[in-house]
Amino acid sequence: MTSDQIAISTILFIALVLFAWGRWRYDLVAMFSLIIAVLVGVVPEKEAFLGFGHPAVVTVAAVLILSQGLQNAGVVSLIVEQMRRIKFTAFTLLATITIIVTVLSAFMNNVGALALMLPITMVAAKEYNIPPARLLMPLAFGSILGGLTTLIGTPPNIIIAAYRAEVMGEKYSMFDFSPVGVPIAIIGVLFIVLLGWRLIPKGRMTKNASLNLFEIHTYLTEIQITKESEFIGKRLNELPMFEGVDRIEILGVARPSGYARNVNLTYKVKENDILIIRADPNELQPFLSKGGLELLNSATHIFEEPDHHTTMLMEGVITQYSPLAGRDIRYLRRLSGRSVALVGLAREGEAVVRRLRRQIFKVGDVLLLQGHEETIDEQFTQLGLLPLANRPLELDRRRKVGIALLAFIGAIVMAMTNLVSLPIAFILAIMVYVLTGIIRVREIYEQIDWAVIILLAAMIPVGHALEATQTTTWLANTMLELVGVDSPVLILTLILIITMLLSSVVNNAATALVMAPIAVAAAQTMNVNIDAYLMAVAVGASCAFLTPVGHQSNTLVMGPGGYQFGDYWRMGLPLEILIVVVSVPLILFVWPL
């Protein structure tokens, strides 16, 4: 290996470790890798930021905006309306939502498709008394499978198409992924609906969805003893709030300026004591009616206005787009202008025992917020929270569904007929959405996942450095020496499996950027069809079913479904094995070596 090959390999290895570790956000890791690559000379300084103008980056951003436009136009309203006309059984409901999210994710960002369907699924779980855990993991997996079927379904497909254009002078068209992706999606959905959901641990199926739209018994909540309280001087075990209530657990007591500490039930309550309890939200209100108790984080004084706005409690999941991820309650207060207040926090799979003000929010956390009924919709949008409560949509724009679909389909047709490139076609559709009021200018910037954009823009020059230093050729030759150049099918299968495993711990876009050059180098060395190997990478990068961190859709349902980290592989591993068995013959048939 040359010094440049050693340098870029070391940078890439460290980046992958940091991606998998998750201590720092992947966009920061990617930018760090790019700057180091520039400093050591493997990426020319003049090429460092060319990735921000790369067609793949522009296309990913445009797809995210279009997804929001389709939502604003009334797609959700239309789906809910149609679903409410049908009487479902548990099986038909599972099949219906999985098929719908799979189809939607073929034509919009797969995380966006999940975001559309998650509140609908939670409502249905309540109405039909079905545990959310039975529905949500299949919903997430369906959104991932649908992304396999078209160019715009998932960022890895966009990246692979752009990379093919660099290598072969022509990129994949909208439906070049369909001959392989559609059969895989169909077989995957059949597996999920008929067998896969049965592999979810039974312990996750015990929640009764009829008790609450999203029932969680692990909210961390703080109640303060005011000076007017009749309970001052009484022992904790004498307080009526803890009598005969099994779902209330007292975790400790704190003073206004201090840390919480464990106390026994004989502790005597003092003025201004803060009781830290874990409780179901449905149990909170009766306690507040007791004399001299105040929900510390409800900030009731915020809402004491002359017009007497109605306040309400709402549950929402922190999405990957949320500015709250990695921040604390102080940032929440600043961002919302103190118009909403944090009442409780739920994080499945991890005990939440510290004070609310000391919590760092994570993607997948469920927040219980109190706010004005009139403005809480807008606040949820600003905070990047996916609502889980049965509340009206922000706007009813159903009359614009036709315009939205016409503009979207028109953009696809223009790109397929090579009238304009795909990024230009999508930007034209976005302009139509703006001019017709389907999407606001402000929403254009809000809906772009800037972390993914920076990841792509930073990793593209690093990927080019892999090729420029011939590191990809070296890696491919090393693989061929170990397996044998006379086994192109085995090499293709190996690339597919390695890509799958990598995507379970590393962002799928980063996985595609790393594996695509290696796959092409292997195909060129064996003088076989490059397309087959690129398709193997495309399938593998999108099939992240083993962990909750492999794909944003998996992370998003972890809290609402009550899943733990180890639950995903139980359904995900058999599904990935099935996909390998099905996809290799399909790839070889559609893209012969």
How does DSSP assign 286-326, residue by residue?
HHHTSTTEEEGGG-GGGG--TT-PPEEEEEEEEPTT-TTTT
pLDDT, block means (10 residues), the chain with 593 residues: 88 85 80 93 90 85 83 71 80 93 88 80 82 91 94 90 90 92 96 93 62 46 81 82 61 72 80 78 61 58 41 76 83 80 69 65 82 75 74 47 87 87 90 90 78 84 85 82 80 93 84 90 91 95 86 81 84 95 95 90
Give me the amino acid identity at 132.
Answer: P
Q: How far apart are CA 451 and CA 455, in angstroms?
A: 6
Q: Structure tokens of 477?
A: 């030759």
Order the strands of the 311-318 sheet from edge to edge.
340-346, 366-372, 311-318, 385-387
Neighbours of 471 (CB within 10 A): 24
Q: What is the pTM of this model?
A: 0.72
Q: How far apart are CA 363 and CA 356, in angstroms?
A: 16
Q: How far apart are CA 282 and CA 279, in angstroms?
A: 8
Residue 4 CB-half CA count within 13 A? 16
- 325 — phi, psi (to 5°)? -60, 125
Give the residue among 182, 114, 186 at the shortest CA–CA distance from 150: 182
Q: How far apart are CA 143 and CA 120, in angstroms?
A: 14
Q: Strand 385-387 vs strand 366-372: parallel, antiparallel, or unpaired? A: unpaired
Extents of the domains making up the chain:
219-298, 301-387
Q: Strand 274-279 vs strand 293-295: parallel, antiparallel, or unpaired? A: unpaired
**Residue 303 CA: distances (Å) to CA of 229, 313, 330, 379:** 22, 13, 18, 15
Give the residue among 255, 212, 221, 227 at the shortest CA–CA distance from 241: 221
Under DSSP, the state recorded for 369 is E
Give the residue among 532, 544, 460 at the shortest CA–CA distance from 507: 544
Amino acid 59: pLDDT:
85
Q: Structure tokens of 447?
A: 């809906």
Amino acid 397: pLDDT:
42
Among 3.30.70.1450, 3.40.50.11740, 3.10.450.50, 2.40.37.10, name the CATH number for the domain at 301-387.
3.30.70.1450
Amino acid 141: pLDDT:
96
Q: How far apart are CA 100 and CA 337, in angstroms?
A: 37
Q: Structure tokens of 177?
A: 């992924």
Q: How far apart are CA 399 and CA 372, in angstroms?
A: 28
Q: Any residues with CB less than 8 A from the CB of 147 and at least 6 apart, and which?
A: 105, 106, 110, 153, 154, 157, 542
Q: Any residues with CB less than 8 A from the CB of 292 and at least 6 apart, and which?
A: 225, 226, 227, 228, 229, 230, 231, 232
Q: Structure tokens of 458?
A: 């930073």
Question: Phi-psi region for residue 349, left (φ > 0), alpha (ψ -120 to 50) or beta?
Answer: left
- Rounded to the nearest 5 degrees, what angle is found at the Cα of 384, between the Cα atoms of 383 and 385? 95
Gyration radius of the chain over CA positions: 26
- Sign of the C-alpha dihedral, residues 193, 199, 201, 202? positive
Superfamily of domain 219-298 in CATH is Regulator of K+ conductance, C-terminal domain (3.30.70.1450)
Fold agreement between 219-298 and 301-387: yes
Amino acid 578: pLDDT:
96
Q: How far apart are CA 312 and CA 293, in angstroms?
A: 18
Order the strands of the 249-254 sheet from edge to edge.
249-254, 274-279, 219-225, 293-295
With H, G, I as helix, E, B as strand and everything else as coil, classify residue 250: strand
Question: Phi-psi region for residue 101, left (φ > 0), alpha (ψ -120 to 50) or beta?
Answer: alpha
Q: How far apart are CA 224 and CA 213, in angstroms?
A: 27
Amino acid 70: pLDDT:
79
Give me the amino acid identity at 33.
Answer: S
